[in-house]
Structure 1
Amino acid sequence: MNIKTRRYLAIFVTCTATLALYGTAAYRVEQARQQPRVYASCNVDQCIPHNATLNSLK
């Protein structure tokens, strides 16, 4: 294997690894986006919606 072939092989492996990492990250973001969100934080005696502000609780 000459130096030119090794260089192209190194470029190919680097691009493949980069695309694999990007694809994995995009897949994980998409899976997290599809998870159902919890719209309220509930304790034993009360539930407060996540979008509630102190002004709206008065």
Structure 2
Amino acid sequence: MRSCKEAVYQWCVCGYTRADGDNDGVPCEKHCGQSSRSSLERVKSYKKEFGCR
């Protein structure tokens, strides 16, 4: 994956659950960052954009 947005897409749209291996709500920490408030908000906005819960 090349970006956080792509990681979220693969995770919530394509069902690639391994993207969030530690189950903290943030896929691919390499691109999305650790499970901080800002990372969670960014992931939440991408999920909303893609129509994921």
Fold match (TM-score > 0.5): no
Larger helix proportion of the pair: 2
Larger strand proportion of the pair: 1
Larger radius of gyration: 1
Of structures 1 and 2, the one scoring higher in RCO (CA 8 A, sep 6+) is 2
With the length of structure 1 as denominator, give the TM-score of the two structures. 0.28
